Amino acid sequence: MNASQSQWFDHNYYSTYRIASRVERLALYPDYRFLESLMLDNGILPFLPHWQKDSALHKFIRYTADEILESDNDGNRIILFGSDPMNPKRTLPIEAALVLYGMQDKVSFVAPDIPPAIRTEGGVTHYETAVELQDACYDYFLELRLTKTYEDFLARISSEVFHIMFTNRVALQALHEYLSRYVREFRQESNEQDSGYTKYLKEPGILKRTKIPKWAQRAVYFRDRGTCTKCTRDLTGLVNRWSAENFDHMVPLAQGGLNDVTNLQLLCAECNNKKADNFHLTSNRYQNWY
Ligand SMILES: [Zn+2]
């Protein structure tokens, strides 16, 4: 999946902030039960290759968005939507989203009109979505999930959420701390199938140091506005502004950090030297727009 291949995209802001806020919370306070299936069976493997444009954050967002979409479309929320306003269709939120994103011409799933089960308990009336309706939605969603359309939709969502989260260095560092535990635990001999990934390792649990590609340097340089994220020193005047030494792995490689654009920040040479032995925390300090 190439989540951010093209230079421009139109932001539709579909649930962007809701997904971003869930991703942020998961990064800062990992919910191991929720994340279990992401990391199951060496789930860390896709994160290991160096400098993927489909960054660790993109992958994390897709996983989270997928879970959110699943629960949004379980049949408990039926909406009215369609090209004919006089005759809207009963459908699922994701159908409306696919049409709005231009990924589908029209609504392709009409939810059966089954009234909710009504139950009264202690004088309180409860409305419960009929099981048949839930089943119909579940079946539809399961099938949709296997399609290219759904994969493309998740890729779009992940670029949108990435766009607003890339500046959140504190959340990014936390995300990479979470992932680093799995990198440290990864042993090349653990599984025959995983041997293709050993080329990325310097030694068990530690990735090789490799050259940072220009696109990643550029992204981090502009995000951090050419200033040291620690002491705010202006680095734009440097003779070699793309000096590799100013790009710091927030979670160091030696501690299981990834070669990933979302694990980088700008540091001046002095702050970088100071960081060497003690684990430096990043900041969410920004320059005002004006
Ligand atoms: Zn500095």
CA of 176 to the centre of ligand 1 (A): 22
**Would strands 264-266 and 117-121 be described as parallel, antiparallel, or unpaired?**
unpaired
* pLDDT value of position 51: 98
Write down the pLDDT at residue 278: 59
pLDDT tens sequence across 60-96: 999 999 999 999 999 999 999 988 888 899 999 999 9
CA of 267 to the centre of ligand 1 (A): 5
Domain spans, the chain? 9-165, 201-290
How far, in Å, is the centroid of ligand 1 from the Cα of 237?
14
Compute the distance from residue 234 Cα to the ligand 1 centre, in Å.
9
Structure token pair of residue 251: 């979670």
* Ligand 1: centre distance to CA 210 (Å): 23
Cα 271 to ligand 1 centroid, rounded to whole Å: 4
pTM as predicted: 0.90
Distance 235 CA to ligand 1 centre (A): 9
Q: Tell me the CA–centroid distance for residue 264 and ligand 1, in Å.
A: 14
How many C-beta atoms lie closer than 10 Å to residue 273's C-beta?
A: 11
pLDDT at residue 10, as a whole number: 86
Q: For residue 1, what pLDDT is reported?
A: 45
C-alpha 4 – ligand 1 centre gap (Å): 30
Note the pLDDT of residue 287.
87
**Ligand 1 center–CA 168 separation, angstroms:** 19
Write down the pLDDT at residue 273: 81
How close is the Cα of 266 to the center of ligand 1, in Å? Answer: 8
Instruction: Tell me the CA–centroid distance for residue 106 and ligand 1, in Å.
Output: 53
> Is the Cα dihedral 151, 60, 258, 47 positive or negative?
negative
Q: Pick out the chain residues at pLDDT < 50.
A: 1-4
pLDDT score, position 3: 46
CA distances from 34 to 20, 37, 38, 149, 256 (A): 16, 7, 8, 25, 22
pLDDT tens digits, 249-282: 999 999 999 999 999 999 988 888 887 655 667 8
